[in-house]
Amino acid sequence: MQSYLQYRRIHQAVKHHYDGSSQEDGDREDCKGNLPAAEPSICVVQWDEYDAHLNPRQYSPWRKAAMTALVSLIGLSCTAASAIDSAGVPQYSEYWGVSPVVGSLTTALFMIGFGLGSFISGPFSETFGRNIVYMVTMAVFLIFIMAAGLAPNLPSHLIFRFLAGLFAATPLTCVGGTVADLWDPLQKTYGFIIYTIPAFNGPMIGQVIGSYLPTTLGWRWLEWIMLIFGGLMFTIMVFFQQETHQDLLLTWKAAAVRKYSGQPHWRGPIEVRQVSLAQRLKIALSRPFAWILTEPIIILTSLYLIAIYIILFLFLEGYRFIFEQTYHFSQGLNNITWIAMFIGSAMITIQVPFIWRITKNQQKNLGRIRPETRLWYAMLGGAPAIPISLFWMAWTSYPHISVWSPIIASAMFGFGITTVFVSAHLYVIDAYEQEAASAFAMVVMPRYLASGGITVAGGPIYTSLGVHYILTILGAISAVMAFIPYLFYFTTAKMLALTFNPEIIYFGGGDSRLAYPPTRDSSSR
């Protein structure tokens, strides 16, 4: 609905502009952008003064915040569905007559589907625009969630959960492109946080939502509540979500200019590349695999987040052993304690004013914001908070110590994990700008594949070694990893800036830019 209205507004603005200009003025209008050498008569449209207000980058901060919040709630409806089934594993396992390890497959397969789906949704959004990918994948996701709730047997339920995860990945992969479309580099300092807090905490919120549903209404209501929530968000999205992809919007404008000016030489950025749809899809789908092999930023960020996600999901698996077995919480009350992680995650907002000041001063002094500046979120206590919280929980989770000790430790863990995620994702967004969705595909896919495996293995690991040993081991690993943001900030990022230059890799006649932060920062354009 909103995409159609945007299309109409662009056409009306162009029509009004040409109706108010003489033919002579129209003939003298200058070409915008670079002209293809083979076709010097073709002109590339850009935003002009008369239609600049239709450019998403020119929207007011409040409007951008509302659009980002909508995407974050869509992300919440998908990420909450990923973990909500784990709230009912005992009832689910009893119903199907399987072990809890087999029962955990309902979450693990969703995660694996999430990872594989990210490879498709991100690149597709850069070919067809953001909205169509959001809407189509969300609709299919809801269909498979409904099918999972109606599944007559275990294999069909697991298959439908996997397929639901496959189409639920869009909000996590496409959001990089959406944020890059909307916010300028300085505004991203707080703009991305609007998305982060709801969407990244979806698994915790899903556990809280599902706290008492399995014991009161039955495990199928875990699917029904996600279907209701997701259906509500899909309805809101259809009526209120706007297209933000610059290339698509400018293609709409080019069509309007050709229509109302009578000059056939105007083209959108996509149209001048002389690449067929099949070639564009080939480029979009091959780009993430090219980057995971050639882009140091993607390689290092992916490896770091894989390790962080393994720690995260092993930590989350420990909740059941700590609060149910050590402190004898009920199943429902155990899930309620996930609120602590959400509160800790929201504490990242305290960092925003300070980091805003750092980025603003850097933009003022250098004329641009270096992507590695985003690492300040993790460097300002976030990365060290992870090992501290793990050691804290490992060494204080005993019946004779107040239950508030592990609860507070889990809040600190939530703060640390969120700062690391924000740093890594903002770094990628700044480094790859319009291609951020493709970059996110290879940042998201490996970590969710790893988390799917850990979800199944976590229970047996805790049963074999115990809470205290597992959390101590995770604390030691994360203590070593806590140095990574600092090392990357002071050494690796600078080496990449000095060593590599942008280059073009061709896949079937199209281009996939290998880009590095110093040359891709949009504030210098």
- For the packed helices 154-168 and 170-182, what is the interaxial angle rounded to 10 degrees? 10
Q: What percent of the chain has pLDDT over 90?
A: 16
* pLDDT higher than 70, residue 493: no
Instruction: Out of 135-139, 151-155, 486-490, pick the least confident.
Output: 486-490
Higher pLDDT, 385 or 367: 385
Mean pLDDT, all residues of the chain:
80
User: What is the predicted pLDDT for the residue at 273?
Assistant: 64
pLDDT tens, residue by residue, 34-59: 444 445 577 888 888 888 888 988 89
* pLDDT higher than 90, residue 225: yes
Nearest to 165 by CA among 379, 452, 435: 452
* pLDDT higher than 80, residue 32: no
Q: What is the identity of the amino acid at 376?
A: W
Higher pLDDT, 518 or 227: 227
* pLDDT higher than 70, residue 437: no
Higher pLDDT, 244 or 285: 244
Nearest to 253 by CA among 433, 7, 417, 25: 7
Full DSSP string of 309-335: HHHHHHHHHHHIIIIIIIS---HHHHH
User: What does R_g of the chain's alpha carbons equal in angstroms?
Assistant: 24
- d(Cα 425, Cα 192) in Å, to the nearest integer? 9
* pLDDT higher than 80, residue 175: no
- d(Cα 285, Cα 288) in Å, to the nearest integer? 7
Judging by DSSP bridges, how do beta strands 266-267 and 43-44 pair with one another?
A: parallel
User: What is the predicted pLDDT for the residue at 51?
Assistant: 86
- d(Cα 442, Cα 437) in Å, to the nearest integer? 9
Burial label, 429 (beta-carbon count in 10 A; 0-12, 13-18, 19+): buried
Report the range out of 225-229, 488-492, 501-505 with the highest average pLDDT.
Answer: 225-229
User: What is the predicted pLDDT for the residue at 275?
Assistant: 59
User: What does pTM read for this prediction?
Assistant: 0.80
Nearest to 391 by CA among 412, 373, 370, 371: 412
Pick the CATH number of 55-243+278-524 from 3.40.50.970, 2.60.40.10, 1.20.1250.20, 3.30.420.480: 1.20.1250.20
Higher pLDDT, 483 or 281: 483
* pLDDT higher than 50, residue 514: no
User: What is the predicted pLDDT for the residue at 291?
Assistant: 66
Instruction: Out of 54-63, 408-417, 426-435, 461-470, pick the least confident.
Output: 426-435
Burial label, 263 (beta-carbon count in 10 A; 0-12, 13-18, 19+): middle
Q: What is the identity of the amino acid at 316?
A: L
Nearest to 434 by CA among 522, 497, 363, 523: 522
User: What is the predicted pLDDT for the residue at 318?
Assistant: 79
Task: Give yes or no for a contact between 429 and 285, defined as CB atoms under 8 angstroms apart.
Answer: no
Long-range contacts (CB closer than 8 Å, 24 or more residues apart) made by 349-356 = 349/193, 349/197, 351/376, 351/377, 351/380, 351/382, 351/419, 352/189, 352/190, 352/193, 354/380, 355/189, 355/380, 356/186, 356/189, 356/190
pLDDT tens, residue by residue, 270-328: 777 665 656 666 666 676 666 667 677 777 777 788 888 888 878 777 788 888 888 88
Phi and psi, residue 245, nearest 5°: -70, 120
* pLDDT higher than 80, residue 422: yes
Kindly list the domain boundaries of the chain, sorted by start residue. Answer: 2-14+30-53+246-274, 55-243+278-524
Report the range out of 111-120, 170-179, 220-229, 332-341 with the highest average pLDDT.
Answer: 220-229
* pLDDT higher than 60, residue 498: no
* pLDDT higher than 50, residue 521: no
CA distances from 443 to 8, 301, 421, 519 (A): 36, 7, 11, 21
Higher pLDDT, 288 or 343: 343
Nearest to 414 by CA among 449, 455, 386: 386
* pLDDT higher than 80, residue 193: yes
* pLDDT higher than 50, residue 506: no
Q: What percent of the chain has pLDDT over 70?
A: 82
Q: What is residue 511's three-state secondary structure? A: strand
Average pLDDT for 124-142: 85
Q: What is the identity of the amino acid at 283?
A: I
Burial label, 365 (beta-carbon count in 10 A; 0-12, 13-18, 19+): exposed
Other Cβ atoms closer than 10 A to 31: 16
Higher pLDDT, 269 or 376: 376
Other Cβ atoms closer than 10 A to 231: 16
Report the range out of 273-277, 404-408, 519-523 with the highest average pLDDT.
Answer: 404-408
Q: What is the identity of the amino acid at 91?
A: Q
Full DSSP string of 269-294: TTGGG---HHHHHHHHHHHHHHHHHH
Instruction: Out of 30-44, 159-173, 259-273, 333-347, pick the least confident.
Output: 30-44
503 bridge partner residues: 514
Nearest to 65 by CA among 202, 198, 205, 219: 198
- d(Cα 362, Cα 430) in Å, to the nearest integer? 14
* pLDDT higher than 90, residue 161: yes
* pLDDT higher than 60, residue 29: no
